Chain A
């Protein structure tokens, strides 16, 4: 059926279609592994969506410029804003959408500072922090 459809299209149209497809593929490739732009991340979600002591999954999205960055190694360390409490560590690798899901645990209530260190596929390293107040 698709052959029938293609036969009905003008050769110039087929060429235009291929060009469009090529452009789209290039665009997707560019989004997955951009080589320019600043690396950043955003906390997309907490699963479950509550800030209380216990296990949680941090959903992070890593971007290079405006585009998602696939294949980046992400290391996460949570430090309580208090001395003498064991930091919590986790990590993972971003998928094609630049998203990584990091299993984590808030071990005690208080103010947590989460440091996210990203290592890009080309070996660059970027780090950033966000803060959350967790209740018991």
Chain B
């Protein structure tokens, strides 16, 4: 029997869920909760310190842990292990409670079931981060955590699937996109089992308020041959509505492993794969504008976000404020900054990358004489995944800077917090602990991340071009390679400038 093309399984010899101890812990009913509870406790601690602790960002856990450590560890985990932060996400603990309380609500509105909302949420977060200076305010960071918990709880309580994770969460969206580079992916062990599966518990779950026996197979004598049960101890189905045998990339997978727990046939695994494999597969990314532009815009924001930390940003903001007549209008500095940031974000983060990628796709179609064969959307969406490595390289280079220069600051801040609460276990704060002193070393690491991302993107684009244009692959690759080169050079220029921690802007 020929396997159905809709069922997919990556060639993998390694399944993390088969590991002796780790596999058992991960598959355990409370395996995810064991990871989430410490993160939830940490989130509570950050909220507490954010609201009650020292308002100086460098002396408060609420600003140090999210803006220095979380982001550094997140990119490292995505690259080395997978979407561990969505797996341990503390915001989904009340989500699970909301789901149990609410039962099955309506589905998320059809018009919002795309990545456009996630793109908007990401841009909103980037804007709020820059405008309100989240990095310098423990209280605002605490409010952000509270807002996350509330949004997750409300959306999960109202709708049947997990709309917060799938359609809204900016952090999850970032993790979804860049976990396509990760070395692991949910997959099934035996496709034939899925073909004959009745319950599809990986999708729908094995939870039932009352115990229910389901018949998998009826024997020749009419009696049930194979059964399995749904019960109150069962697992909720996939919140992001992924059907395990059809998963072809890590997009939308929060690695909660509920699919593996719910599968009555023990047929779902966390399989190893070559990092980035999904980027060049024809069917791994649905050919949708929302997904394609999400990837491209996120990569562009890697540049915009880093640009916000280098000295030329001041000159650009001032000239925009003058050009738009904002300074002459006598607006406050905060209002001017808001308008100028919106202009920079919309032009540099949205309009420019969208226009350039559409032009590049059009040029590739013309050069390969595939204008009649491929739509502009098909040409663009095929190459969009090639922006994942360079986007990751840009973000990794930026986050690596903050992480490397400040990873040891967690020690004095913890000492300070304990001392502030009359707990002298760790002694007086040692404020001399920072991180790597040499900015040359940090700069070298940043350049390596950027170049590795560029090479990865170039390789992915070359494979996509070979698949799409065959003999005319070079002609099809050329415009995309030039766009990627442009991004890499922009990144190289940015990271060669002194990165400063943007302070108060006074418009003259």
Contact B409–A83 (Cβ < 8 Å) = yes
Residues of chain A within 8 A (CB-CB) of B219 are none
B241-271 residues at the A interface, CB under 8 angstroms: none
Contact yes or no, B58 A79, CB < 8 A: yes
Nearest chain B CB to A75's CB is how many angstroms away?
11
Q: Are A87 and B502 touching (Cβ within 8 A)?
A: no
- CB of B132 closer than 8 Å to a CB of A: no
Binds B, one of A26-34, A97-105, A107-115: A107-115
Contact check, A81 vs B311: say whether CB atoms are below 8 A apart: no
List the A side residues contacting B135 at CB < 8 Å. 82-83
**A17-25, A56-64, A128-136: which lies at the B interface?**
A128-136
CA distance A1 to B498 in the complex (A): 67
Q: Is there an interface contact between A89 and B431, defined as CB atoms closer than 8 Å?
A: yes
Give the contact stretch, choosing among B59-67, B149-157, B443-451: B59-67
Q: Say whether, besides A79-B59, A109-B498, A86 and B406 are in contact (CB < 8 Å).
A: yes
- Is A96 positioned at the interface, with any CB of B under 8 Å from its CB? no
Report the bound CA distance from A113 to B498 in whole Å: 21
Residue B378 lies at the interface, judged by CB distance under 8 Å to chain A: no
Q: Mark B473-508, 1 if CB is under 8 A from A, else 0.
A: 000000000000000000000000011111110100
Whether B431 pairs with A53 at a CB distance below 8 angstroms is no
Q: Does B57 lie within 8 Å of A81, measured CB to CB?
A: yes
The digit string for B414-434, where 1 denotes a CB below 8 A from any CB of A, is 000000000000000001111
Q: Taking A53-B498, A111-B136, A136-B311 as contacts, is the C-beta distance between A85 and B405 under 8 angstroms?
A: yes
Q: A77 and B409 in contact (CB under 8 A), knowing A82-B135, A83-B67?
A: no
B402 at the interface (CB under 8 A from A): yes
Q: Is the CB of A109 within 8 A of B501?
A: yes
User: Cβ of A89: which chain B residues have Cβ within 8 Å of it?
Assistant: 431-432
B171 to chain A, nearest CB (A): 17
Q: Is the CB of B406 within 8 A of A84?
A: yes
The reply to whether the CB of A39 lies closer than 8 angstroms to some CB of chain B is: no
User: Would you call A80 an interface residue if the criterion is a C-beta within 8 Å of the partner chain's C-beta atoms?
Assistant: yes
CA–CA, A80 to B309, complex, Å? 14
- Let me know if A82 and B58 touch, CB within 8 A: yes
Q: Does B214 contact A (CB under 8 A)?
A: no
Q: Give 14 new A-B contacts, CB below 8 A, not counting A84-B68, A136-B498.
A: A79-B57, A79-B58, A81-B133, A82-B58, A83-B57, A83-B60, A83-B68, A86-B409, A87-B431, A108-B501, A110-B501, A111-B136, A111-B503, A135-B500
Which A residues are within 8 Å of any B CB, using their own CB?
53, 77, 79-87, 89, 108-111, 113, 133-136
